[in-house]
Amino acid sequence: MKWGGHAAAAGLTIEDAKIEPFRKAFLAEVDRRLSPALRKAELSIDGETTLAGLTLESVSQVEKLAPFGQGNRRPVLCGSSVQLAEPPRSIGSGGRHISMTIVQHGRRIRGIAFGGADWLPHLPTPGQPFHVAFKPKINEFRGRRTAEMEVIDWRPDGIAVDVELPELQPAELSGIP
């Protein structure tokens, strides 16, 4: 019906009845244009820290690198052998996001995974170690400022980072829009 955007973003309005045909045509075109080498997801990590290193002061230092955007992305950090303190919970409109409390060596910090609800059945149970990639952020809520993590990916403990994980099978993808 209408479309628009710029080099870094695009959007469109489409009739409900045409969403599925559009989706199929779009995916076919992406398949035709995108080489298999470019289809492999890759995550660049800028550094590693412990949760104890994520203080309001240290994250405030990261914020001094702002403004963040396409030409200046927010740093991505990782933490090794962290654990969930309790089961994560769905939040937000439609339960699409998850909130979790992550702990390491007694230090607890809140993590938010935007669009991460599909991880819920796969995340380790509380107390089991895993590795996490995140963007450090400051949360300001009701006059209180705290350091937290925007979780962007995770990996089970015990799997070397240079080992590729198996691809999801079509049955596993059925819940992913």
All structural domains of the chain, each given as residue ranges with its CATH number in brackets, are: 2-40 (no CATH), 47-156 (2.40.50.460)
| Greater model confidence, 29 or 177 | 29
Highest mean pLDDT among 4-8, 27-31, 125-129, 154-158: 125-129
Report whether pLDDT(155) > 70: yes
Q: What does each C-alpha distance from 158 to 88, 132, 163, 165 come to in angstroms? A: 21, 13, 11, 12
Q: Supply the pLDDT for residue 168.
A: 57
Q: Supply the pLDDT for residue 24.
A: 93
Max CA pair span of the chain: 54
pTM: 0.76
Q: Name residue 5's beta-bridge partners.
A: 10
